Chain A
């Protein structure tokens, strides 16, 4: 199971960058566009998000369109966070160049990507991308992420307006006692 999920994860990530790039190319056709990200930035953030919430047995950040959520909310009064991302991405690219001889994070293989992310976990850049990735998985689709509610599937959550008893396992056989 674990093996197959890794293979699936890999194939999804291989799809990620072209997916984002093709979405970006639609700009020229007027169908879809980033508000503030460049195509390269979008592809990089999408690649990181796809490692934070990978596509495996259940959909991940790529299917949820998290990068479009990030672009959308960062364009709306979140300049300080966008600055953290831009600066952090420059640093990440420098590391990619120094260590692996490539200019893009998304060009690394998955184990290289994960190794790099483990090194920067806890830092401002990683934590901001993690925050926005998770927020983009689990916000309402109107914010441009959580496409088709796939993020909610990750949690086993259904965005319903009404629930009835029993709510969970432990209240199934519960009887109200006055005292």
Chain B
């Protein structure tokens, strides 16, 4: 029993929300506490703090949260439509549980900056891309970023490094780890402005949740004390205690049906036992993530929308962006112990926009991490970056040093939107429900690769300045999988080339909203979850006001 309230399937509730992740959890809380009746359909279980363990095998190698092929959800990948899609364990990685990927993410929580919203105007168009301005500005979103800070819970240190903010962080910055100190000292030596990484992890008690106990298992794991500010920990409890929200878990949505007037009217789903149900609703909000949201729309084709629901623009599933990434790793004389506490504590944003005279578009940030996420198994599997044997007694000594004495400086950077990078349905492969599998078609733009390499060069310089005795570069390659699933139902004013309007409302169906990573017009610099949550608060605010005016 997740909440006291139970709604009848045949009776219209005010809203059905598909997905309970970063966006769905926020919208469920906002709408239900505003007094609307809400049913949330979540395909995963309701795992809570007490259910999570330091189970690297289960979470990282057995798909316990991310599912994938082993759990009956295969995906396929190709670099272009000319290739035959190849079956993969996972190429879109997201957690299947209440709170979605906000449960297992790193907690790295950068706001976007003003330039992220109007960069296409500032720099001009980029040939072969769909690089565009957002229909909203940073100023439009700022109040909602602040709402995320305070309602969801963010730790950080206010300073000139921040984009403009109307209120300080609610929680002091997390304590610096050794890798963060190495980055900070090296960054200052090179004339940069390193600062405490803003994170969605509580450094001290806030909103009835405790501060972090620094166990070290954030990225890919659920927080065992609710210090990570997932929507599961921060929003869902408020939605459920409103008495207006029913959370139905293990419910997999198969399609959205329209009434004769062309309004979204009914959401069809299977329960955990495989029994099909449908829920009537006055309006539907799809927050299923940048892969699942377009899939659901494409699966919901009809005579009115033969190319997929709300897809008159043909943009559903297009403009997929992953964010660029690079890594350089260093081995140090003294213990760094990156396996303790949170993934990253310091960040450098001095290259938020790379000088265009270098000949390519891009920008990003560098943060300090452990080369293998501080994970014991991953570290031992990855061992050998600095040379040496991969097994035997010498290997055992090497593993120990690599686990305890290394730091990685990671570049997180832009991805350009391309109409050819897509989420589509693979009709040749079915998931356990018989639905067409997700197909990923993705090839990084050359500028994205150049940007990632630019950041790796800066990371190497920083590692040298930090005194690393050996340095390795993880090769920058074209990406074939990611956890950032962005852009596939992009926001815009023009219904011809965007899927949702500036308030996340479908251009085609007035009582249908899509809000999650799919709404993003540009990729930001590598940490999208803060912006997804801010968009969700903003969309919910609009939905509440419009509902009160009977405009939905």
Interface on A for B, CB 8 Å cutoff? 5-6, 9, 51-54, 56, 58, 60, 73, 77, 114, 117, 121, 130-131, 134-135, 137-140, 143, 151-152, 154-157, 159-171, 174, 176, 178-179
User: Smallest CB–CB gap between B508 and chain A, Å?
Assistant: 41
CA distance A163 to B374 in the complex (A): 14
Task: Please tell me if the beta carbons of B176 and A161 are within 8 angstroms of each other in the complex.
Answer: no
CA distance A126 to B479 in the complex (A): 27
CA distance A131 to B70 in the complex (A): 17
- Which residue on chain A has the smallest CB distance to residue B178? A168
| Most chain A beta-carbon neighbours within 10 Å: one of B55, B61, B338, B391 | B391
Question: What 5 A-B pairs have minimum CB-CB distances, sorted nearest first?
Answer: A168-B178, A169-B334, A139-B57, A170-B178, A168-B337
Task: Please tell me if the beta carbons of B61 and A163 are within 8 angstroms of each other in the complex.
Answer: no
Interfacial chain A residues near B57, Cβ < 8 Å: 73, 135, 139-140, 143
Pick the contact of A161: B56, B175, B177, B224 (CB < 8 A): B224
Interfacial chain B residues near A165, Cβ < 8 Å: 175
Task: Please tell me if the beta carbons of B396 and A159 are within 8 angstroms of each other in the complex.
Answer: no
Task: Please tell me if the beta carbons of B377 and A135 are within 8 angstroms of each other in the complex.
Answer: yes
Task: Please tell me if the beta carbons of B53 and A170 are within 8 angstroms of each other in the complex.
Answer: no
CA distance A130 to B380 in the complex (A): 10
CA distance A162 to B400 in the complex (A): 21
Please tell me which stretch of B100-108, B213-221, B437-445 contacts chain A, meaning at least 4 of its Cβ atoms lie within 8 angstroms of it: B213-221
CA distance A170 to B338 in the complex (A): 11
| Most chain B beta-carbon neighbours within 10 Å: one of A5, A143, A171, A179 | A171
A sample of 28 cross-chain residue pairs with beta-carbon separation below 8 angstroms, ordered by A number, consists of: A53-B391, A53-B395, A53-B396, A54-B393, A56-B396, A58-B396, A121-B390, A121-B391, A135-B61, A135-B381, A137-B377, A138-B56, A138-B376, A140-B57, A155-B376, A155-B380, A157-B403, A160-B215, A161-B215, A162-B213, A168-B177, A168-B334, A168-B337, A168-B340, A169-B336, A174-B181, A176-B157, A176-B176
CA distance A170 to B403 in the complex (A): 16
User: B159 at the A/B interface (Cβ < 8 Å)?
Assistant: yes
Number of interface residues of B (CB under 8 A): 51
- Which residue on chain A has the smallest CB distance to residue B184? A174
Task: Please tell me if the beta carbons of B335 and A169 are within 8 angstroms of each other in the complex.
Answer: yes
Given contacts A138-B380, A163-B216, A179-B160, whether A171 and B176 have CB atoms under 8 Å apart is yes
- Which residue on chain A has the smallest CB distance to residue B53? A140
- Which residue on chain B has the smallest CB distance to residue A172? B178
Interfacial chain A residues near B336, Cβ < 8 Å: 168-170
Task: Please tell me if the beta carbons of B404 and A130 are within 8 angstroms of each other in the complex.
Answer: no
Known: A131-B381, A167-B177. 16 other contacts (CB 8 A): A9-B393, A52-B392, A56-B396, A137-B380, A152-B376, A154-B400, A155-B380, A161-B213, A161-B215, A161-B224, A164-B214, A167-B337, A168-B336, A170-B334, A176-B173, A176-B176
User: Smallest CB–CB gap between A57 and chain B, Å?
Assistant: 8
CA distance A31 to B144 in the complex (A): 60
User: Smallest CB–CB gap between A37 and chain B, Å?
Assistant: 19
Task: Please tell me if the beta carbons of B400 and A54 are within 8 angstroms of each other in the complex.
Answer: no
Task: Please tell me if the beta carbons of A139 and B391 are within 8 angstroms of each other in the complex.
Answer: no
- Which residue on chain A has the smallest CB distance to residue B69? A77
Interfacial chain B residues near A5, Cβ < 8 Å: 393
Pick the contact of A170: B159, B160, B182 (CB < 8 A): B182
Majority-rule SS of A interface residues: loop
CA distance A117 to B392 in the complex (A): 11
Pick the contact of A114: B176, B224, B392 (CB < 8 A): B392
CA distance A60 to B335 in the complex (A): 23
CA distance A8 to B1 in the complex (A): 56
| Most chain B beta-carbon neighbours within 10 Å: one of A60, A161, A164 | A161
| Most chain A beta-carbon neighbours within 10 Å: one of B178, B335, B403 | B178
User: Smallest CB–CB gap between B333 and chain A, Å?
Assistant: 8
| Most chain B beta-carbon neighbours within 10 Å: one of A9, A121, A154, A169 | A169
- Kindly supply a per-residue 1/0 record for chain B positions 306-344, scoring 1 wherever the CB is within 8 Å of any chain A CB and 0 otherwise: 000000000000000000000000001011111111000
CA distance A9 to B392 in the complex (A): 10
User: Smallest CB–CB gap between B518 and chain A, Å?
Assistant: 31
User: Smallest CB–CB gap between B251 and chain A, Å?
Assistant: 24
Task: Please tell me if the beta carbons of B404 and A155 are within 8 angstroms of each other in the complex.
Answer: yes
Task: Please tell me if the beta carbons of A155 and B400 are within 8 angstroms of each other in the complex.
Answer: yes
Interfacial chain A residues near B178, Cβ < 8 Å: 166-171
| Most chain A beta-carbon neighbours within 10 Å: one of B160, B179, B336, B340 | B340
CA distance A138 to B338 in the complex (A): 17
Pick the contact of A163: B62, B214, B379 (CB < 8 A): B214
User: Smallest CB–CB gap between A170 and chain B, Å?
Assistant: 4
User: Smallest CB–CB gap between A84 and chain B, Å?
Assistant: 15
- Which residue on chain A has the smallest CB distance to residue B57? A139
User: B180 at the A/B interface (Cβ < 8 Å)?
Assistant: yes
- Which residue on chain B has the smallest CB distance to residue A154? B396
Interfacial chain A residues near B53, Cβ < 8 Å: 140
User: Smallest CB–CB gap between A59 and chain B, Å?
Assistant: 10
Interfacial chain A residues near B224, Cβ < 8 Å: 161
User: B95 at the A/B interface (Cβ < 8 Å)?
Assistant: no
User: B18 at the A/B interface (Cβ < 8 Å)?
Assistant: no
- Which residue on chain B has the smallest CB distance to residue A9? B393
Task: Please tell me if the beta carbons of B341 and A163 are within 8 angstroms of each other in the complex.
Answer: yes
Interfacial chain B residues near A137, Cβ < 8 Å: 377, 380
